[in-house]
Structure 1
């Protein structure tokens, strides 16, 4: 029994194919840190992480300690890099679960040094242009050298989150890359090896091969997502299949006698309304424009869904017909089984992205 008949369908085969495509792109020698932050971009971090590792990813990347712990509890044993979103007092728990922390300052480094009883591998993030978390590139060599003087800390690698400007200027990419590689070169000149140099995420993987270095951390491209204006050098398949639900109740509406202009949608004639349990928590991204078409014949009704955390109204049609298809630029909703009229239990599928995607 499903208490709430709303499910997200994902394609693990596509996830595996995308990792293999990235492997072909970067070659066999580079490490792939597959990003599964934000619960695997809404797909399920453990499921996607397992699929990525099984198909050649060397490690996983998560946004914070909590995400790493959940993966360990789900049985993921692969190396996990925790991006720098944790406080210093997270050091004991991080190490106890075999997670690799990313440091950004000496306070964090001291916390891990004091908590460690054996050598502790750490990454350090260098800020090369995003002006966010990370040791400023100009200070990085001095700060990292001081970190490595602390007992029990061992530098496993450096990482960065380069800024992907809308102009996609190659000169800007080269400038950021140069800031990063300068830090690497100066550290190694001081006798501090940098085993992993992690610089390119999806935007740079798609556009700037010179930024791959010896490791990459793709995010959205592993889920088959590219943005307008981007062209992938390798085929990518969407891992998102459908967001499915069922009509849980049907009600009859008539035009309001008062406050008709305040209604959430126009009701100018009696109509039948189906409600599906799909609000913003389930991935609904807001009201959608009116657009309706039928596989058999044009439908005079419109498609509207109103987002909330409680539920959404389904497409409304005065004369529902078997196999009718509703579509809009935001989503596609269709009958999963023929029905002579709307009724509770009717299955729907809504193909829309479950989360707003970031640029990783």
Structure 2
């Protein structure tokens, strides 16, 4: 949905702009690094940890021409731009989001609480999406900025929206409630998180309840007594239906839980469902979801299977390997008694026969009454049979409280890091639980065992910049279909798809049906074209709203039979024509009978018509490329004359976008260039490398002249040399053809050539002229050693290198 700039000015009480009052605004932004569609974006200069006014030039350079700034604040000259001065840019952002909310007619579920908001939201999305078109807040967008952006991105044609709201101090929820205005409410529970922003727990509950002023329904955990008392008192002045769920048999809805082989059974009346989790937090979150469905009077039977497949949401609690057969339970981002008990429950379940140790920072409750807090902590440690505790914080260090078990005290995280030996933990389960300000992630890094030192680092900033670069190469309105086949060219299709969906892609392309299903199961809603759908997967393809490519009559007939056999009413398809690639595709002279057959059947929506360019990256074949484009243009004209359907037409790949952008038609397919790999020699150095493959030096040894290295003694040194053993081999994707000096790696600013044959798990390189030591980082390809150079040495193409990176190589995603 879009609004004219003039309309938004009226909403803010500002005069109509002189420049571009009819400009349609589709996007609101406050981050100059994350601009998707600059001409249709309104940029807000917000003041926080960073002052948005300092980034106005950068936003302008990115193409933004419409700005909301603080009245009277110094700012640069922004040529050909509309500058809207407002007393409160954040308030302006919230007001515009509230205006959009005025135009939404579907019900909104507001979700708040101290813990579990994001998980409950994501699980409800998982459960309800099978039946309804559901919108939701991205990730944990629940703040004064995140919530209005969440509301703004809601489409008016949804059946239901799930909006998460979080606060850290008084008077914040009132502003969010005006924007969200939920008719339905869900309170996940109350704990000590952000206690410092409120006088007491009851005040915090009352503040959170402001989200539900005017709501018709509120679901909450009845067994939390203080929360229940405050909700019952609040409801006396509200016309609201309350549903309090209880595991004690005392609520409006009584739930019984029982551990099962694969997780937990949840019983309500005569109905039993199962979830694939056993920890207390997940059980409570599932009970909240179930209670909401019951409050909505949903028939639960269709949701039974979906409960069994509730996904593991990537949250703060992580289980990882430590040294000496120890396991590390990472919860290094919060520390309050409520979440500590949940973590201790999980610790107890996971520990088995291992001893249990806890590394704990100062608790959030300590500021009010440390003695009471420590007494409760003592009870928890005893109840969950913790064997030893490591306490980090000034009060612990100075007062040395006794918790009835062996304890070690540190004044700060820095002191613990300086003194602790990670190898002292042996056959233990170690919970690391700390407030964010203690930076316990540094402790986790020390304790975690490094299973494989080779990693593929994926720069999501670079991916987005490349996407926007190609988007700007074609005329406005041209749709972009990034290809995420072959695990996103080796970079991880799901993570890449999520990033592209956020960045503004219009379509996604995959090779096989199972790749598309994986994306759908993980919340990717963009249209997805399947290039090579297997015939036995076509029913699933249609079930998951995937769109197969049809390239000959035989395949079309099989698809028709599939619809008949499975009672499927229709399917969206893409038609491929062969204009010179001579791989797959209908011939030009088959267009007329093809259109006649499609029209007679009536069940197929032609989403797009496309062809492949055979040599768009090579100048010597430009005449051939132009002939292909000409042929495709004729096919397009004939199609539109003979058919009532108006599909998208596309022929350009990455090289085609760079070299033949005037022939973009309706859409372009973006492949290898998205990942920062040059598809044409015409434009070197423009793209940003997305993937960097890195390893470590495992060992360095000295060899005398004449000695040999590796299998079959293929590598012989001619003089006294230093040889480094690197933690990567052909099983990781470092090709054996790079043996004996044909390959090289980058170490501390210099190239180190390979010595001997590449082994399965390692490779040896000559570091005689390089200052380095064991443990130093090694770049296999990246910023210093481009993947194109590695491919040249291996006598192959970058496509083969990047897609050949083994699944055992850990993918690490980062964003500045």
Normalised TM-score (structure 1): 0.80
Q: Choose from 713, 721, 731 the match for 1:263.
A: 713
Describe the SS at the equivalent of 1:17: helix
Q: Indicate conservation of the 8 Å contact 1:119/1:153, yes or no.
A: yes
State whether structure 2 residue 304 is matched by structure 1 residue 304. no
Describe the SS at the equivalent of 1:149: helix
Q: Indicate conservation of the 8 Å contact 1:113/1:151, yes or no.
A: no
Q: Indicate conservation of the 8 Å contact 1:80/1:100, yes or no.
A: yes
Describe the SS at the equivalent of 2:558: helix
Q: CA deviation at 1:358?
A: 4.6
Q: CA deviation at 1:17?
A: 1.1
Q: CA deviation at 1:69?
A: 2.6
In 2, Cα distance between equivalents of 1:293 and 1:148: 59
Q: CA deviation at 1:8?
A: 0.8
Q: Choose from 667, 670, 694 the match for 1:244.
A: 694
User: What corresponds to 1:334 in structure 2?
Assistant: none
Q: CA deviation at 1:270?
A: 5.7
In 1, Cα distance between equivalents of 2:765 and 2:539: 52
Describe the SS at the equivalent of 2:716: coil
User: What corresponds to 1:54 in structure 2?
Assistant: 502
User: What corresponds to 1:135 in structure 2?
Assistant: 586
Instruction: Point out the structure with max Rg over C-alpha.
Output: 2
Over 3 Å counting, the alpha-carbon distance change for 1:222 and 1:269 in structure 2 is: same
Higher mean displacement: 21-30 or 216-225? 21-30
State whether structure 2 residue 504 is matched by structure 1 residue 91. no
User: What corresponds to 1:209 in structure 2?
Assistant: 661
Aligned length: 333
User: What corresponds to 2:247 in structure 1?
Assistant: none
User: What corresponds to 2:778 in structure 1?
Assistant: 348
Over 3 Å counting, the alpha-carbon distance change for 1:308 and 1:192 in structure 2 is: farther
Q: Indicate conservation of the 8 Å contact 1:16/1:54, yes or no.
A: no
Higher mean displacement: 181-190 or 247-256? 247-256
User: What corresponds to 2:460 in structure 1?
Assistant: 12
In 1, Cα distance between equivalents of 2:536 and 2:513: 11
Over 3 Å counting, the alpha-carbon distance change for 1:307 and 1:132 in structure 2 is: farther
User: What corresponds to 2:639 in structure 1?
Assistant: 187
Over 3 Å counting, the alpha-carbon distance change for 1:272 and 1:62 in structure 2 is: same
In 2, Cα distance between equivalents of 1:274 and 1:230: 37
Over 3 Å counting, the alpha-carbon distance change for 1:8 and 1:149 in structure 2 is: same
Over 3 Å counting, the alpha-carbon distance change for 1:293 and 1:21 in structure 2 is: closer
User: What corresponds to 2:199 in structure 1?
Assistant: none
Q: Indicate conservation of the 8 Å contact 1:292/1:303, yes or no.
A: yes
Q: Indicate conservation of the 8 Å contact 1:279/1:307, yes or no.
A: no
In 2, Cα distance between equivalents of 1:260 and 1:180: 54
- 1:51-200 equivalences under 5 Å are 51-83=499-531, 85-116=532-563, 117-164=568-615, 166-200=618-652
Q: CA deviation at 1:113?
A: 2.6
Q: Deviations over 1:74-119 (max 9, x none)?
A: 4322211111x23322211111222110001222222333333222
Q: Choose from 265, 277, 293 the match for 2:727.
A: 277
In 2, Cα distance between equivalents of 1:2 and 1:260: 25
In 2, Cα distance between equivalents of 1:295 and 1:121: 53
In structure 2, the gaps of 5 or more residues are 1-448, 792-796, 801-816
CA RMSD after TM alignment: 3.4
In 1, Cα distance between equivalents of 2:620 and 2:545: 37
In 1, Cα distance between equivalents of 2:746 and 2:606: 59
In structure 1, the gaps of 5 or more residues are 325-338
Q: Indicate conservation of the 8 Å contact 1:18/1:222, yes or no.
A: yes
Over 3 Å counting, the alpha-carbon distance change for 1:260 and 1:181 in structure 2 is: closer
Q: CA deviation at 1:192?
A: 3.7
User: What corresponds to 1:27 in structure 2?
Assistant: 475
The structure with higher relative contact order (CA 8 Å, sep 6+) is 1
In 1, Cα distance between equivalents of 2:707 and 2:727: 28
Q: Indicate conservation of the 8 Å contact 2:529/2:549, yes or no.
A: yes
In 1, Cα distance between equivalents of 2:706 and 2:610: 59
Per residue, is there more helix in 1 or in 2?
2
In 2, Cα distance between equivalents of 1:43 and 1:172: 33
Q: Indicate conservation of the 8 Å contact 1:137/1:183, yes or no.
A: yes
Q: Indicate conservation of the 8 Å contact 2:698/2:726, yes or no.
A: yes
Over 3 Å counting, the alpha-carbon distance change for 1:261 and 1:188 in structure 2 is: closer
